[in-house]
Amino acid sequence: MSEESLQRLNGIRAYHRRTRDAGFVACLLGALLLVAGRFMPGAPVVLVSVGVGVIVLGWGLFAYALWKRLALARTHSSDASG
Report pLDDT digits (tens) over 17-42.
Answer: 999 999 999 999 999 999 999 999 99
Tell me how far apart the alpha carbons of residues 29 and 69 are, in angstroms, rounded to a whole number.
24
Number of domains in the chain: 1
What is the per-residue pLDDT for 80? 54
* pLDDT tops 90 at residue 79: no
Tally the C-alpha atoms within 13 A of residue 63's C-alpha that lie toward its C-beta.
6
Tell me the residue range of the domain where 38 lies: 3-81
* pLDDT tops 70 at residue 59: yes
Does residue 1 sit in helix, strand or coil? coil
- Comparing 30-34, 43-47, 76-80, the range with the smallest average pLDDT is 76-80
